[in-house]
Amino acid sequence: MFSIKTIPKIWKDSAVLGSTIFAVIATFMGVAGISLDSIISNQKWWNRLLVILAVYAFLLVILRVILSLTVRKGITIKIRGISVSIKQGNIFDAKGWKVIPFNEYFDTTVDDVIISSTTLNGIFINEHVSDLKKLKDVIISANEDHSDLKKYKKGNRFAYPLGRIITYEDYMLLAFSHFNEQNVAHISKPEYERCLLTMWKEIRRTYANKPVFLPLIGSGITSFDDIPEKSNLDLLKCMLCTLRASGENINQPITILLTKDVMQEINIYETKGVI
């Protein structure tokens, strides 16, 4: 069923701007003593109405295009005073903390079984970790840091609560997904939201007043237990909503970096609607 809530925000804003422009023009015409009859003479009332509607529709489309162009390269919004930018980019080129999702065990074996070499996790380990033993030592000793989220026994292995962050050089390693016996990374929607809330708390604990860069958490190969088809726009909105709901004060810019494919897929203007 049609609902105004289903109309994209960019069209709603275009309609508001179009109505404002029409009101300004009508006011100007009134002050100048110009009437519609003098512009469209010898026309029936319904013809005049059609002309007005056609002009308004044309203006609406023009404004829609203009608003799309304003966010083509990215958008910056404020969430509780925190500057959050959303744009296309490679997280490994970022200058600041870079958040890299891991599974709950913080596995480091890139064999296209445990970790795929094409994932952000695999690329990080294969191309940006010069000393794998050092990384493993950092993960093993992480239980001694100041986080309340301690590792626990899960089966015959140790796992960390989802949302837990372990810092390594200028990276924030995030426990993001569960890992089953078939080596499938998975998470449920409620767990995803709780994970993000915990993640923002952990980022506040560890960011040391440096900028933070994140990928679109959840957009990779991790499957959702209770969502047959995940939406990248919904994932992005969830990241922003949980930041707002977390209440955490982060006094440095946060940047969410999207891949080229995701940037072309979604209209990031819609994220203005979650503020």
Whether residues 180 and 55 share a domain: the answer is no
Mark whether 50 and 171 lie in a shared domain: no
Asked whether the beta carbons of 146 and 153 are under 8 A apart, the reply is: no
Number of structural domains (the chain) is 2
Residue 3's pLDDT is: 46
Global pTM reads 0.82
Give the pLDDT confidence of 187-212 residue by residue, as tens digits.
999 999 999 999 999 999 999 999 99
Regarding whether 144 and 209 lie in a shared domain, the answer is yes
Torsion angles phi and psi, residue 220, rounded to 5:
-85, -140
Q: Are residues 80 and 130 in the same domain?
A: yes
End-to-end CA distance of the chain: give it in Å, rounded. 26
> Are residues 22 and 138 located together in one domain of the fold?
no
Nearest Cα neighbor of 239 from 196, 207, 201, 199 is 196
Round to whole Å and give the CA distance between 109 and 90: 23
Provide the mean pLDDT of the chain: 87
